[in-house]
């Protein structure tokens, strides 16, 4: 299924929708969990543990998904992504016990894992201005994260928690079959070459870059995972916003919508400025902001959360551009697969921190200290990156 024709605009549209779905589906439960404890007769901590295997699969399944994207078909894998995600969400909505809930959430993580290694590599291959394309695509990831909280909160409070999975699940099925139709008409095809040629860099810089990125992607992923899962509970505990899911969900949505523009800024910066420097500063500036948030118990916390998320998310297009910069085209999906095994699988520890801290401390206050530590280590890793050069592996 290879073709030399590139379609950057349609590729960006499909990749952006898929990116938003991958994050939205993974975070629906983070808001729904606030209102299902009575029905399942479980505590918040016990219910939150049920989501951990799904987050583990969200990372671990990334490498085999990337391998299939390289060896078989990127577009075919995206069809499987949409359809599998849809059926998994509907199954979760039908759950009446913890086992079915666990299975449904784990399947959502497994199919959700397809997008990042496959979709981002596919987008990079079609893009002329990689940073800009990754930035726009990243905005849609933010929109997915934000909409998860508000969609789940609205549907759970006004129609019942099951509809928070039914409605998105049906939408994903519709997009899956629509993509299948687009492929059958030849509007999109797999390609074997990049839209832009890539000059060569040294093997020494490649090795150093991947060592540094090994450190940073884990830390950046830990920050993203723990923040996105923990914010609904933090807002619910610290701010006077009622006892339902819609209040904290709406605030989390506001945070991620306001932070969405940071992806565009990060993407443009990746094209215009030294990528190492942009990435380095993004990690550094998070540290004081997170520490101030630790002692904030009023609505200023929302603004601080916007700044935290903006720096974390704004660095991600730069990070993905750095991976593309040092990776051969034919290995790119697999390399993104390895990256997201680290970012989303290994860093499911960040998800596990939420129920652990909640169970031990009775709150998530110490989560801010953990995030500040992650940001410091990420800064150190970014400092180890090779000095910026205008060279990319072929």
Q: What is the pLDDT at residue 361?
A: 83
| pLDDT tens digits in sequence order for the chain, 394 residues long | 444 466 889 999 999 999 999 999 999 998 899 899 989 999 988 999 999 899 889 988 999 999 999 889 999 999 999 999 999 999 999 999 999 999 999 999 999 999 999 999 999 888 878 889 999 998 998 889 888 988 999 999 999 999 999 999 999 999 999 999 999 998 887 666 555 555 556 788 888 999 999 999 999 999 998 998 899 889 988 988 876 778 888 898 899 888 888 989 999 998 899 999 999 999 999 999 999 999 998 899 999 999 999 999 999 999 998 998 888 777 888 889 898 888 877 777 888 888 888 888 888 889 999 999 999 999 999 999 998 765 444 3
Q: What is the pLDDT at residue 260?
A: 85
Burial class (CB in 10 A: 0-12, 13-18, 19+), 171: middle
Q: What's the chain's Rg over C-alpha atoms?
A: 20
- Other Cβ atoms less than 10 A from the Cβ of 55: the count is 27
Which residues 6+ apart lie within 8 Å of 126 measured at CB? Answer: 6, 7, 8, 11, 12, 133, 191, 195
Q: What is the pLDDT at residue 205?
A: 86
DSSP-derived secondary structure letter, 245: S
- DSSP states along 146-187: HHHHHHHHHHHHHT-TTHHHHHHHHHHHHHHHHHHHHHHTTS
Q: What is the pLDDT at residue 5?
A: 60
Q: What is the pLDDT at residue 28?
A: 96
Which residues 6+ apart lie within 8 Å of 49 measured at CB? Answer: 352, 355
* Domain regions of the chain by residue span: 8-383
Q: What is the pLDDT at residue 290?
A: 96
131 phi/psi in degrees, rounded to 5? -60, -45
Q: Following CA atoms 154, 231, 134, 209 in sequence, which dihedral angle do they give, to the nearest 10 degrees?
A: -160
- Other Cβ atoms less than 10 A from the Cβ of 346: the count is 18
Q: Are 266 and 315 in contact (CB under 8 A)?
A: yes
Task: State whether CATH 1.20.1250.20 applies to domain 8-383.
Answer: yes
Q: What is the pLDDT at residue 375?
A: 97
């Amino acid at each position: 299924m290879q073709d030399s024709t590139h379609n950057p605009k349609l590729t960006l549209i499909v990749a952006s929708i898929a990116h938003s779905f991958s994050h939205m589906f993974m975070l629906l439960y983070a808001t729904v969990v606030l209102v299902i404890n009575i029905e399942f007769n479980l505590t918040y901590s016990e219910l939150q543990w049920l989501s951990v295997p799904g987050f583990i699969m969200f990372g671990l399944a990334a490498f085999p998904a990337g391998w299939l994207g390289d060896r078989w078909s990127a577009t075919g894998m995206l069809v499987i992504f949409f359809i599998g995600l849809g059926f998994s969400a509907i199954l979760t909505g039908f759950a009446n016990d913890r086992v079915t809930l666990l299975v449904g959430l784990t399947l959502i993580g497994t199919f959700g894992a397809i997008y990042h290694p496959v979709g981002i590599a596919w987008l990079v291959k079609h893009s002329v201005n990689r940073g800009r394309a990754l930035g726009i695509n990243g905005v849609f990831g933010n929109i997915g994260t934000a909409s998860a909280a508000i969609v789940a909160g609205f549907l759970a409070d006004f129609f019942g928690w099951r509809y928070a999975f039914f409605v998105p699940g049906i939408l994903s099925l519709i997009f899956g079959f629509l993509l299948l139709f687009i492929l059958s008409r030849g509007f999109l095809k797999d390609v074997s070459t990049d839209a832009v040629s890539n000059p060569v860099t040294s093997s020494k810089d490649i090795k150093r870059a991947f060592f540094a990125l090994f450190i940073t992607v884990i830390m950046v992923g830990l920050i993203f995972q723990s923040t996105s899962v923990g914010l609904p509970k933090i807002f619910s505990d610290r701010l006077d916003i009622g006892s339902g899911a819609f209040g904290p969900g709406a605030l989390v949505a506001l945070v991620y919508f306001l932070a969405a523009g940071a992806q565009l800024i990060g993407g443009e910066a990746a094209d215009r400025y030294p990528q190492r420097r942009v990435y380095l500063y993004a990690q550094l500036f998070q540290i004081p902001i997170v520490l101030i948030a630790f002692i904030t118990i009023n609505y200023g916390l929302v603004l601080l959360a916007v700044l935290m998320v903006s720096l974390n998310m704004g660095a991600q297009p730069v990070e993905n551009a750095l991976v593309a910069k040092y990776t051969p085209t034919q290995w790119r999906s697999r390399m993104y697969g390895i990256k997201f095994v680290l970012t989303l699988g290994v860093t499911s520890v960040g998800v596990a921190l939420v129920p652990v801290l909640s169970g031990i401390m009775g709150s998530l206050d110490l989560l801010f200290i953990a995030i500040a530590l992650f940001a410091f280590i990420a800064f150190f890793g970014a400092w180890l990156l090779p000095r910026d050069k205008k060279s990319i592996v072929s």
